[in-house]
């Protein structure tokens, strides 16, 4: 089902214009009362000799002939919603009412060289969306459950006649013109024949057709680009029931991103029934809607639903009449709003916070002084170290040894020209000698001027002193050897 293309509205027809349908019945146009995305809606009357009364029971939808939605709706009524078929169905199911608007005729017309298609329908009243808006976005639980049962009856009928609606929402549920207790599922412009000649469409995902329909309620199948199916219709209805009961949906804040909406719906369906039961904000539980969606989740793409079981799941506190008054919040009920599920950005933000906490812990571990291996304290001094480049005042853990203050702070130092012997190196520090060096600093109380020795002498023998000692020893042995040789010659 490709998304409908945006087309210009048709130019209005004049009031009192007479149309003749395919069965040669004449209809007189009255005042234009509405316009949709594709066409215009006029009051109409069978009496072509008098002006159309304001309380007439008929309306006529008008579109340009080449437009698709009215043609699709017309085909649905001609194939699946014939008056005699609906009457037979109601008798077989023992129903007093079936919420599908009556179809009275259709045809083509021409005006000012423009060709129009029209369809005559029952006049309906206000839509359910307006009722919800007037009630703060919510309906009473008993009303929601009863609406769900009535819509299951409608869906069972159209499914048995090889069609799915594919666009169930409050704006397409219309109250009766004279009896507001009657609710109709209208607007079959996006209806789809899912099972032509008894052969169900195959399961075939098409990303190019993904996310079709009204984004708030469209099914997960539609998000994946699958053709509409019976389980898709029921899932859409379940999302609608949840919205009417709670006043909002968990994905309301990400409607501009269809992929995030799909992910949020998938999370809700994967975590049933808890994910729906947690959304109750009015003191009335959502258990019935959770059970409804849980059953829909078990259906296969081509599987026929058990409609009577679905109606039983919505029994709850259903009463005989629909109450569209503002639902009252029970005393002590929570006033919290429906919480949105975490979005992808929220998960990434949480992950980054966890990483920052781990980095802070690592920094604390690195800043905490470690105990000094004993071999360092017993070994010979290894010469002066370069001054630390660390900013700020370091935290010192000092101890005294051989008139020097030994600190175990971490400092950056220049590499030494000479490393101590391996037997003096702690095994864990052989490969990274300068990772946590020792700093030898002279006591402030030590008076170097009194000794007259340089810092190098204070630190211990260096490489230069060692070479000098070697040459002295070699010279002594050379002199002794020369003297001994001379004595032998004499």
- Domain containing 428 equals 374-378+396-462
Shared-domain flag, residues 62 and 189: no
Residue 242 is part of a domain; what is its CATH number? 1.10.510.10
Shared-domain flag, residues 148 and 176: yes
Domain tally, the chain: 3
Q: Which of 73, 90, 122 is the last residue of a domain?
A: 122
Q: Is residue 482 part of a domain?
A: no
Of 41-45, 131-135, 144-148, 461-465, give the lowest mean pLDDT range: 461-465
Shared-domain flag, residues 34 and 109: yes
Q: Is residue 387 part of a domain?
A: no
Which residues, in sequence order, are CB contacts of 46 under 8 Å at separation 6+? 25, 26, 27, 28, 58
Shared-domain flag, residues 205 and 347: yes
Q: Is residue 369 part of a domain?
A: no
Shared-domain flag, residues 355 and 417: no
* Most confident region among 243-257, 342-356, 422-436 by mean pLDDT: 243-257
pLDDT band at 335 (very low <50, low <70, confident <90, very high): very low
Shared-domain flag, residues 355 and 268: yes
Could you give the residue numbers annotated as active site?
Answer: 167
Residue 90 is part of a domain; what is its CATH number? 3.30.200.20
Shared-domain flag, residues 146 and 259: yes
Nearest to 205 by CA among 220, 191, 189: 220
Q: Is residue 480 part of a domain?
A: no
DSSP 176-187: ESS-TT-EEE--
pLDDT band at 378 (very low <50, low <70, confident <90, very high): very low
Instruction: Look at residue 344 in the predicted model and tell me its pLDDT.
Output: 43
CA distance linking residue 295 with residue 152, whole number of Å: 14
Q: How large is the average pLDDT for residues 53-77?
A: 92
Q: How far apart are the first and last CA of the chain?
A: 125
Shared-domain flag, residues 301 and 258: yes
Shared-domain flag, residues 169 and 315: yes
Q: Is residue 389 part of a domain?
A: no
Given a cut of 90, is residue 348 above it in pLDDT?
no
Of 68-77, 190-199, 454-463, give the lowest mean pLDDT range: 454-463
Percentage of the chain modeled with pLDDT above 70: 67
pLDDT tens for each residue of 213-266: 999 999 999 999 999 999 999 999 999 999 999 999 999 999 999 999 999 999
Q: Is residue 385 part of a domain?
A: no
**41 to 32, 63, 100, 185, 461: CA distances (angstroms):** 6, 9, 18, 17, 106
**241 to 163, 234, 268, 359: CA distances (angstroms):** 21, 10, 14, 46
Given a cut of 90, is residue 371 above it in pLDDT?
no
Residue bearing the bigger pLDDT, 324 or 294: 294
pLDDT tens for each residue of 14-28: 999 999 999 999 999
Say what angle helices 141-160 and 83-93 make with each other, to 10 degrees: 120
Q: Which of 79, 99, 122 is the last residue of a domain?
A: 122
Spell out the alpha helix ranges (H) of 207-343. 220-223, 230-246, 258-270, 274-277, 287-298, 307-313
- Spell out the long-range contacts of 198-203 with Cβ–Cβ below 8 A and sequence spacing 24 or more: 198/162, 200/229, 200/302, 201/227, 201/229, 203/301, 203/302
Residue bearing the bigger pLDDT, 423 or 296: 296
Residue bearing the bigger pLDDT, 128 or 366: 128
Shared-domain flag, residues 113 and 135: no
Instruction: Look at residue 123 in the predicted model and tell me its pLDDT.
Output: 96
Nearest to 334 by CA among 274, 254, 273, 247: 247
Instruction: Look at residue 369 in the predicted model and tell me its pLDDT.
Output: 53
- Which run of H or of E encompasses 349? helix 344-367
Q: Is residue 312 part of a domain?
A: yes
Instruction: Look at residue 31 in the predicted model and tell me its pLDDT.
Output: 95
Shared-domain flag, residues 178 and 320: yes
Q: Which of 93, 122, 151 is the last residue of a domain?
A: 122
Instruction: Look at residue 146 in the predicted model and tell me its pLDDT.
Output: 95
Shared-domain flag, residues 110 and 165: no
Instruction: Look at residue 363 in the predicted model and tell me its pLDDT.
Output: 57
pLDDT band at 53 (very low <50, low <70, confident <90, very high): very high
Given a cut of 70, is residue 409 above it in pLDDT?
no
**142 to 145, 147, 149, 327, 387: CA distances (angstroms):** 5, 9, 11, 10, 80
CA distance linking residue 166 with residue 117, whole number of Å: 23
Given a cut of 50, is residue 376 above it in pLDDT?
no
Q: How large is the average pLDDT for residues 39-49?
A: 95
Instruction: Look at residue 431 in the predicted model and tell me its pLDDT.
Output: 46
Q: Is residue 383 part of a domain?
A: no
């Amino acid at each position: 089902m490709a998304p409908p293309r945006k087309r210009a509205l048709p130019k209005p027809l004049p009031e009192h214009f007479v149309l003749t349908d395919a069965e040669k019945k004449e209809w007189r146009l009255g005042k234009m009362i509405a316009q949709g995305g594709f066409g215009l809606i006029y009051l109409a009357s069978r009496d072509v000799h008098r002006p159309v009364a304001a309380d007439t029971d008929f309306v006529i939808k008008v579109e340009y002939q080449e437009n698709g939605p009215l043609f699709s709706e017309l085909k649905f009524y001609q194939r699946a919603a014939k008056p005699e078929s609906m009457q037979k169905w109601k008798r077989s199911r023992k129903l007093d009412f079936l919420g599908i608007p009556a179809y009275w005729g259709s045809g083509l017309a021409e005006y000012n060289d423009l060709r129009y298609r029209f369809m005559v329908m029952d006049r309906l009243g206000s839509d359910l969306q307006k009722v919800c808006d007037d009630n703060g976005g919510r309906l009473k639980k008993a009303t929601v459950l009863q609406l769900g049962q009535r819509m299951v009856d409608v869906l069972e009928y159209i499914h048995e006649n090889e069609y799915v609606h594919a666009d169930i929402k409050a704006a397409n549920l219309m109250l009766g013109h004279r009896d507001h207790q009657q609710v109709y599922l209208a607007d079959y412009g996006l209806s789809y024949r899912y099972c032509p000649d008894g052969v169900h469409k195959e399961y075939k995902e098409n990303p190019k057709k993904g996310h079709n329909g009204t984004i708030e309620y469209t099914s997960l199948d539609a998000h994946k680009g699958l053709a509409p199916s019976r389980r898709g219709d029921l899932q859409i209805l379940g999302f609608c029931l949840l919205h009417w009961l709670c006043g909002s949906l968990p994905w309301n804040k990400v409607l501009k991103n269809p992929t995030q909406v799909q992910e949020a719906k998938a999370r809700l369906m994967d975590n049933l029934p808890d994910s729906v039961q947690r959304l109750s904000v009015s003191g009335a539980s959502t258990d019935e809607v959770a059970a409804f969606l849980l059953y829909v989740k078990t259906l296969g793409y081509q599987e026929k639903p058990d409609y009577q079981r679905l109606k039983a799941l919505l029994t709850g506190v259903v009463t005989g009449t629909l109450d569209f008054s503002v639902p009252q919040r029970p005393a002590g009920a929570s006033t919290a709003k429906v919480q949105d599920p975490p979005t992808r950005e929220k998960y990434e933000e949480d992950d980054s916070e966890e990483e920052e906490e781990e980095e802070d812990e690592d920094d604390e571990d690195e800043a905490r002084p470690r105990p000094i291996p004993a071999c360092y304290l017993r070994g010979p001094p290894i010469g002066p170290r370069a001054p630390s480049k660390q900013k700020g005042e370091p935290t010192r853990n000092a101890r005294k040894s051989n008139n020097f203050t030994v600190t175990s702070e971490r400092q950056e130092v220049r590499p030494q020209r000479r490393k101590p012997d391996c037997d003096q190196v702690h095994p864990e520090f052989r490969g990274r000698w300068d990772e946590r060096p020792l700093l030898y600093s002279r006591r402030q109380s030590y008076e170097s001027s009194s000794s007259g020795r340089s810092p190098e002498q204070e630190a211990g023998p260096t490489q230069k002193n060692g070479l000098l000692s070697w040459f002295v020893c070699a010279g002594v042995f050379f002199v002794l050897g020369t003297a001994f040789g001379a004595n032998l010659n004499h």
